[in-house]
Amino acid sequence: MSAKLTSIALAVFACAWVFLPDFTVSLLDYVGIYAIVVLGLVVMTGVAGMTSFGQAAFVGIGAYATAWVTTSSFVAENLGGILGPTFLPCVGLIFGLIITCALAWFLGLITLNLSGFYLPLCTIAWGLSFYYLFGNLEFLGGHTGITSIPPLSIASYSLITPRSFGCVIWLIFFLLLWLMHNLLDSREGRAIQSLKSGRLMAESMGINTTSYRAKVFMLAALMASTSGWLYSHFQRFINPTPFNLSSSIDYLFMAVIGGAGYLWGAVLGSGLITFIKSYLQDIIPAIFGTNINPESIVFGLIMLFILQYYPNGLWPGLVKLFSPLVKSKKKSSIERYEPSQLSSRNMPPKGTLILNAKGITKRFGGLVANRSVSLDLKAGEIHALIGPNGAGKSTFFNILSGVDFPSDGQVELLGESMTGKVARDFATRGLGRTFQHVRLLRSQSVLDNVALGAHLRGHFGWLACMLRLDRREECALQFEAIEQIRRCGLGGSEDTVASSLSLGKQRIVEIARALSGQPVALLLDEPAAGLRHLEKKDLATLLMQLRLEGLSVLIIEHDMEFVMHLADRITVLDFGTVIATGSPQEIQKNPRVLDAYLGIDEKSEGSL
């Protein structure tokens, strides 16, 4: 959404705040409180591809923490004298955030290393148990809860009316929205977005996916806790009911209906559900009588409809409605370049041994995919790895890039043994790679995809990104990405959505992405597949230029003509073992290679 339209909408909202009827204002207060939780869920579900069914429990922790702090006699005795009624809720907020943080960290620790659906399952279970826990703890009031929680107050002015309290709620919401917007529009944001597409690609870009997932989970939990703090002081009495599993599910519905991939979807979703709910509560008893409440059925059916027909939620539709008013801003117009902002690597001199695999054996149960395969790669050479289908090339490639571990033997990168190291460590030490099955962020622009490759060259963390302290570095990163895109011959398609390119071009985007990380070694997995003749020639030219610059390139390829003209050395794999190594000319004449590719002709063998 354009900045202008946003500020107009906000101004209208602020003016309307004064005139809206009391009932609407207090509904809007709830919308704001929910929207804060949903905002966290949007970042988590829509952007990072994780889901939690336990957000209401985090809301509960925030609410109970502050309720306990502001009402318990224990706190009043020890802190009440020092801190006035203005500051006690602040203590409650911090207290809640600390507990939430610790808990989310712990839960993240145990689930985030597992497949994607374990986290939501775990959150269902613990969301339930927290509900029972809240209800059974005597000092938290059991099922009756805690009453007479003080309202928030600033100096002597107490924010007791929904209208005044709403200002606090919406200020906090818009502040968080701004922070999240900044976060997603940064280097760290790209990393968060990459979590959705599986961890292999992200890890190969040097992103610690486990830690990022844990951080996103904690971020969403902290927002939920903040919302609970507001809820507590707004409602001024709490019991376990609003923090049970069905509220968590409601939050998720809000996120999905609004549009889980869009920050503004949080407001849309929570607004729609809150208002529809309040409306239904009025009309349903009139139709069905008072003792039954088919609200959940109606809601569920609406939700199913949206899941089936609008899987991206309603926000994109709304944006389309307003799209004539909004001019899309092209990112590729960035011209400033401050190379000093990015860390860069000293390229090793030509001929240095970069990558050295010694006696790699890989067994899968009884199957031996690689049997003591050795291969080395020097700076400034193009080394091709070829072999018939099933020769074990991909297995070997995975071991070279740290994706898989060898059963025996070891890989050395720049003279350092990489035993026990993962793909991320390989990336940190300067290994760039592409994938046989293209792994791009499909809905993101080419520019964002390529900039992701330069992730390790930036330094600003989450907080700095949220506060926009990273802008100079971000410009440099984007400029670097644009340069690599142009260098690979894709200039002009920076703002194109990656998935709309042809498969061949997507492979080139992967090369550009690898290059923007300034690698010392480049591992290419069938880069020429799907390219047309001229594109292949361009690719060959690019690779030769890279060789001149001292980069070492290892390439797996099926196109013999391409390889023979390009490679300095070729290694041939067959049945998991190296059957030949040498220059293209030597390989072309090698009888074992000919056998492997063309088969042995029994009759003519004698005559040879």
Partner 1 sequence: MNWDIALFLGQDGLVSGVIYGLLAIALVLVFMVTRVIFISQGDLVAYAALSMASLGGTKTPGTFWLLIFLALIVLCTEAWRWKRGIQIDWKTTFIWTLFFPAIAAFCIFLLPPESVICNILATVFIITPLGPLLYRFVFRPIANGSVLFLLIAAVTLHGILVGFSLLFFGAEGWRISPFTEQAFHIGSVAIKGQSLIVVLVTIVLVALLFVFFEKNIFGKALKATAINRTGARLVGIPIEFCGDLSFAMASFIAAISGILIAPLSTIYYDTGFLIGLKGFVAAIIGGLVSFPLALFGALLVGQLEAFASFWASAYKEVIVFTLIVPVLFWRSLRSRHVEDDE
CB 204 within 8 A of CB 7: no
Q: Is 200 in the site for partner 1 (CB under 8 A)?
A: yes
| Part in contact with partner 1 (CB under 8 A); list of ranges 295-303, 477-485, 491-499, 548-556 | 295-303
Tokens coding 349: 């001199």
How many residues touch partner 1 (CB under 8 A)? 50
Q: Which of 2, 7, 78, 129 binds partner 1 (CB under 8 A)?
A: 129
| Residue among 200 and 276 whose Cβ is closer to partner 1 | 200
**Nearer Cβ to partner 1 (58/229):** 58
- Min dist. Cβ of residue 126 to partner 1 (A): 7
* Residue 102 interacts with partner 1 (CB under 8 A): yes or no: no
In this structure, are residues 26 and 162 in contact, taking their beta carbons and an 8 Å threshold? yes
Backbone torsions φ then ψ of 422, nearest 5 degrees: -105, 175
Tokens of 546: 């890279």
Contact in structure between 2 and 326 (CB atoms under 8 Å): yes
Among 38, 146, 176, 256, binds partner 1 (CB under 8 A): 256
Rounded CA separation 526/583 (Å): 20
Of the residues 140, 146, 249, 456, which one makes contact with partner 1 according to CB under 8 A: 249
Q: Is 246 in the site for partner 1 (CB under 8 A)?
A: yes
- 121 is a contact residue toward partner 1 (CB under 8 A): yes
Q: Classify residue 432 by its DSSP letter.
A: E
Residue (of 165, 170, 171) closest to 150 by Cα position? 165
- Interface with partner 1, residue 364, by CB under 8 A: no
- 533-545 core/surface letters (b: 16 or more CB in 10 A; e: else): eebbeebbebbee
Instruction: Report the nearest approach of partner 1 to the CB of residue 118 (Å).
Output: 6
Q: Which stretch binds partner 1 (CB under 8 A): 193-201, 324-332, 441-449, 521-529?
A: 193-201
199 binds partner 1 (CB under 8 A): yes
d(CA 335, CA 595): 55
Q: SS in 3 state form for 464-525?
A: HHHCCCCHHHHHHHHHHHHHHHHHCCCCCCCCCEHHHCCHHHHHHHHHHHHHHCCCCEEEEE
Task: Pick the stretch among 179-187, 323-331, 398-406, 498-506 that binds partner 1 (CB under 8 A).
Answer: 398-406
Is 311 an interacting residue with respect to partner 1 (CB under 8 A)? yes
**Would you count residue 116 as binding partner 1 (CB under 8 A)?**
yes
Residue 398 binds partner 1, judged by CB under 8 A: yes
Contact flag: residue 161 with partner 1 (CB under 8 A): no
CB of 109 to partner 1, least distance (A): 8
Largest Cα separation within the chain, whole Å, is: 106
Q: Rule CB under 8 A: is residue 126 a binding residue for partner 1?
A: yes
* Residue of 205, 238, 213 whose CA lies nearest to 61: 238
CA dihedral 383, 386, 391, 393 (to 10 degrees): 40
Residues at the contact surface with partner 1, assessed by CB under 8 A? 45, 49-51, 53, 107, 110-111, 113-118, 120-122, 124-126, 128-129, 132-133, 136, 198-200, 246, 249, 252-253, 256, 292-297, 299-301, 303-304, 307-308, 311, 398, 403-404
